[in-house]
Amino acid sequence: MQPATVTETTATQDSGRAGRRSPLRAIGGWRSSLWVLPGLVLIAVFVYYPLLENIYLSFFQWSVFEPIPEFVGGANYARAMGDPIFWRSLLNNIAYAVVSLVFQVTGALVLAALVETYVRKHGGILRAIYFIPSAISLTVAGLLFYFIYQPQTGILNEALRVVGLGDLAQAWLGQETTAIWAIIFMSQWQSFGYTTLLFSVAIQRIPRELYDAADLDGVGSLARIWYITTPLVREMSTLLIIVTVTGAFQVFNEVMVMTSGGPNNSSQVLGTWLYHAGFINNDFGYAAAIATVVFVITILLAIAQLWISRRKRVEW
């Protein structure tokens, strides 16, 4: 009986020690937290504080010539709801997001799956070729396509004339019906390779045994992409959808470089219309309201996508 008593006493003492946290361990935990503190401070100062300040200013009428902002409540938001250029800009952003989802997510996934399945031997070279446009800055790419779209000396119209389609040649950036689509095409050309590369990395993590089993069962290429590749790269797809949609509502550089929102505001997006309102029309309250609308749209879309992807999560 005595050994049992000693054992029980020892176990009680050990559990007591486990329940009490060592002072040195507590100090170590605080020291670990200190490494995170600088990052939190930087995020708070340069992200959250400007965001809150922007929301605050959206309820005021303010310009550089009026040092004291005038509180106007929701007048700036009501103005946005009645502004036809705001709605035109929003529709352009939506078109930008839809086309980007089709090409930069769906198209990139199909291309990456085909490359990783059928041309794995030369996949590295192809991935490098696809990625090269992504290494070019947006400003340089915008200027490059600005000259490509030139109506008289541009490469695009010259190519159309050479192949006998000269009737299709036009001022791509000078017409209201084609300006925004020309900019969207340039953006797809630049970003397509980057998303393809990310999908290739995700596909390489999928066990090859799944594809070998599909080959034995006689599963076709499209069926393999739909039933094997797509579900198992869902996390990467979710990330790229969020990044692509958010980027589509934050587009700015390429529009400013190529058209500045013209002609006749036909290629305005929310970012460029915000810029015009604040720095050209000197109406910073209205610009802050547009920025707040952009933030709300992007955060709601991101939350919705995360919620949908979490419900359809695939474990393997």
Using pLDDT thresholds of 50, 70 and 90, give the confidence band for residue 58: very high
Q: What is the pLDDT of residue 28?
A: 58
Q: Give the confidence band of 201 by pLDDT, cuts at 50, 70, 90.
A: confident
Summarised one tens digit per residue, pLDDT across range 222-232 is 788 888 888 88
Q: Would you place residue 148 in the very low, low, confident or very high pLDDT band (cuts 50, 70, 90)?
A: very high
Does the pLDDT of residue 194 top 50, yes or no?
yes
Positive or negative, the CA dihedral 254, 259, 260, 263 is negative
- Predicted confidence at residue 4, as pLDDT, reads 46
Confidence at 312, pLDDT banded by 50, 70, 90: low
The whole-number pLDDT of residue 157 equals 93
Please determine, for residue 3, whether its predicted confidence score (pLDDT) is greater than 60.
no
pLDDT value of position 32: 73
Give mean pLDDT, residues 194-217: 86
**Separation in Å, CA 150 to CA 50, 141, 155, 262:** 40, 14, 8, 15
pLDDT score of 210 more than 60: yes
Please report, in angstroms and rounded to a whole number, the separation of the first and last CA atoms in the chain: 52
At 235, the pLDDT band (50, 70, 90 cuts) reads confident
Range 18-36 average pLDDT = 63
Determine the length of the chain. Answer: 316
What phi and psi values does residue 67 have, to the nearest 5 degrees?
Answer: -65, -25
* Range from 184-188, 205-209, 241-245 carrying the lowest mean pLDDT: 205-209
